[in-house]
Amino acid sequence: MPFTSLGLSAELLRAIADQGYSEPTPIQIKAIPVVLEGRDILAGAQTGTGKTAGFALPLLQRLNDRPGVGARRVLRALILTPTRELAAQVEESVRTYGKHLPLKSTVIFGGVGFEQQAGALRRGVDILVATPGRLLDHVEQKTIDLSKIEILVLDEADRMLDMGFIRDIKRILALLPKKRQNLLFSATFSDEIKQLADGLLNTPVLIEVARRNTAAELVSQVVHPVDRARKRELLSSLISMNKWQQVLVFVRTKHGANRLAEQLEKDGISTTAIHGNKSQGARTKALADFKKGAVRVLVATDIAARGLDIDQLPHVVNYELPNVPEDYVHRIGRTGRAGSEGEALSLVCVDERDYLRDIERLLHREIPKVVVPRFEPNPNIKAEPITQGRRQSPGARPQGARPQQRGRGPATQSRPQVPVAAAPPGQKSRTQHGRDAPAASDGARRGPGHGASGPARHHAERSYGRKRP
Ligand code: AMP
């Protein structure tokens, strides 16, 4: 189906052509006409499916078709995202797709200057992309007026709830006009999302597209079993031997990210790290350097990598498997994007057997195991417990016992979050909570009662509560 049959204006079609997109993705085919009609939508789609254009294109068209009243530019569309990186990328997309239209957008998130953002808002914008915490800062400082919002987008709503933003979101919703169009995007549908959707959406059209883990045939996956102490050596060797030029490497911890980046640099492989402890400027620079090929390897933690949009990333390496199986799916979704083929490799040591089993369970398939010659695992090495990637002192926990991760209490470990494709709204599912402290997200304003429930919430509060930038 060509883009021309979706009802988009000539200016938008021109911007799409400028991007080199030949045809719409499934989420775009489903979402664009419905959003153009003014309907609310509840869309199950992950990053990598083209969802941003799915809401940004019709949003731009609707705003342009019905110019605001009065001479002054007023804020008419609000797009909320969980992380700074995603906010920046979404706003860049809005600009790209709207470049032939007389609409203005800006982005606000924590960790960078407030005044400049206030200035941009004062000068007037039509579309705002924001993370919830900093948006509320502007509300408190009265530097923003949300009373004329016509269209609200909640992007990656599940992540926003996972990160404890529910109360912030509710506060923001209360400031918006009652009559408006609402577009909710979520990769998963937990009960919390269902509840949010029930209170927010007005007879929504339900849109679902295949998750990347059901479309995982685009991404070839392999596990390289290896001893824990030889992972770095194997990674260096794979990068050098295969002459990989752009590799995204996932680790579980910020500390691990820094350490690996240093080690790879010592091996002569240009590397940078991106994680929640880095300043916004440092993270933006790391990402830009990686995108333009100035560094070959970007080492990232899960939260920091959320929403990274790097076109046609050929290689993703799980240097350490995530303790939350769904993160594996998010990670490998960084490659094989928008139809291109990609490769996801996991370096798995004996400690990570349980993690691998959980991932394979979620995927409903085994991932092929390939031992790399010279890196055969030593069968005499015994499993040791993992705590956020650092080995514990012997005896701290019974050998082989499933570690209790921050943000993932024992009660939650055995019930994997159900992917959209497998769990329509209303069906029970669950969310995951607090991992890498989200300096990558906007400041968490969590007090008691925020975010998730039960022990996971406790963890989320503890790990996020003090991090407000
Ligand atoms: P998203 O899921 O919105 O993060 O988009 C993932 C990637 O797909 C981005 O790099 C977009 O530029 C790209 N993209 C979006 N729509 C299309 C399309 N119709 N054809 C090709 N690439 C697209």
Cα(119)–Cα(114) distance, rounded to whole angstroms?
9
> Average pLDDT in the 162-181 region?
95
pLDDT band at 333 (very low <50, low <70, confident <90, very high): confident
Answer whether residue 256 is part of any domain: yes
Exposed / middle / buried, residue 393 (Cβ in 10 Å: 0-12, 13-18, 19+): exposed
Beta carbon of 51 within 6 Å of any ligand 1 atom: yes
For the chain, the average pLDDT equals 80
With 50 as the cut, is the pLDDT of residue 317 above it? Answer: yes
Lowest mean pLDDT among 76-85, 189-198, 311-320, 337-346: 337-346
Counting atoms of ligand 1 from 1, which one is nearest the CA of 48?
A: 2
Same domain assignment for residues 188 and 285: no
Q: Identify the pLDDT of residue 397.
A: 33
What pLDDT band is residue 430 in, cutting at 50, 70 and 90?
A: very low
Q: Specify the higher pLDDT residue, 119 or 190.
A: 119
Q: Are 269 and 184 part of one and the same domain? A: no
The CB of 48 under 6 Å from ligand 1? The reply is yes
Residue 464 resides in a domain: no
Indicate whether 393 belongs to any domain.
no
Domain end, chosen from 332, 363, 394, is at 363
412 inside domain: no
pLDDT of 213: 40
Of 345, 363, 381, the position where a domain reaches its end is 363
- Mean predicted confidence (pLDDT) in 336-343: 63
Would 407 be classed as within a structural domain? Answer: no
Give the pLDDT score at 248: 92
Residues 312 and 232 grouped into a single domain:
yes
Ligand 1 centroid–CA 335 distance in Å is: 12
378 part of a folded domain: no
Residue 405 has pLDDT above 70, yes or no: no
Q: Tell whether 255 and 190 lie within a shared domain.
A: no
158 shares its domain with 247: no
The CA 48 to ligand 1 mean position distance, Å, reads 6
Ligand 1 centroid – CA 13 distance (Å): 15
Give the residue-averaged pLDDT of 89-111. Answer: 96
Ligand 1: atom nearest CA of 25 is 19
Ligand 1 atom showing the smallest separation from residue 3 Cα: 19
Structural domain that includes position 23: 3-208
Per-residue model confidence (pLDDT) at position 209 = 80
375 lines ligand 1 (CB under 6 A): no
Best CA proximity match to 81, nearest among 115, 112, 110, 122: 110
Residue 183's H or E segment, with its range, is: strand 181-186
Any domain includes 421: no
Q: Please indicate, yes or no, whether residues 204 and 246 belong to a single structural domain of this protein.
A: no
pLDDT at 8 over 50: yes
Looking at the CA of residue 23, tell me the nearest atom of ligand 1. 19
In a domain, residue 192? The reply is: yes
For position 233, which CATH number holds? 3.40.50.300
The pLDDT of residue 328: 87
Query: How confident is the model over 218-255, as pLDDT tens digits?
Result: 678 999 999 999 999 999 999 999 999 889 999 998 89
Ligand 1 neighbourhood includes 24 CB (under 6 angstroms)? yes
N- to C-terminal Cα distance for the chain?
45
In angstroms, the CA 343 to CA 27 distance is 23
Q: Is the minimum distance from the CB of 50 to ligand 1 under 6 angstroms? A: yes
- To test the pocket of ligand 1, the residue of 4, 12, 19 to mutate (highest count of ligand atoms within 8 Å of its CB) is 19
Same domain, 82 and 163: yes
Q: CA neighbours within 13 Å on the CB side: how many for 143?
A: 18
Mean pLDDT of 105-127: 96
Share of the chain above pLDDT 90, in %: 54
Q: Which residues contact 70 (CB under 8 A, 6 or more apart)?
A: none
Same domain, 196 and 60: yes
Closest residue by CA, ligand 1 atom 16: 50
The DSSP H or E segment spanning 347 is strand 342-348
Report d(CA 353, CA 385) in Å as an integer.
Answer: 11
Same domain, 113 and 261: no
The rounded distance, in Å, linking the Cα atoms of 282 and 214 is 34
Q: What is the pLDDT of residue 214?
A: 43
Least confident of 127-131, 135-139, 235-239, 426-430: 426-430
Same domain for 316 and 297, yes or no, is yes
- Which amino acid, one-letter code, is at 469? P
Mean pLDDT of all residues in 426-439 = 33
For the chain, how many structural domains are there in total?
2
Domain C-terminal end among 363, 387, 415? 363
Residue 368 reports pLDDT greater than 80: yes
Out of 151-165, 371-385, 444-458, least confident range: 444-458
User: Considering only CA atoms, which residue is closest to atom 18 of ligand 1?
Assistant: 21
Residues 186, 316, single domain; the answer is: no
Which amino acid residue places its CA nearest to atom 17 of ligand 1?
50
Query: Same domain for 269 and 204?
Result: no
Q: From ligand 1's centre to the CA of 131, what distance in Å?
A: 21
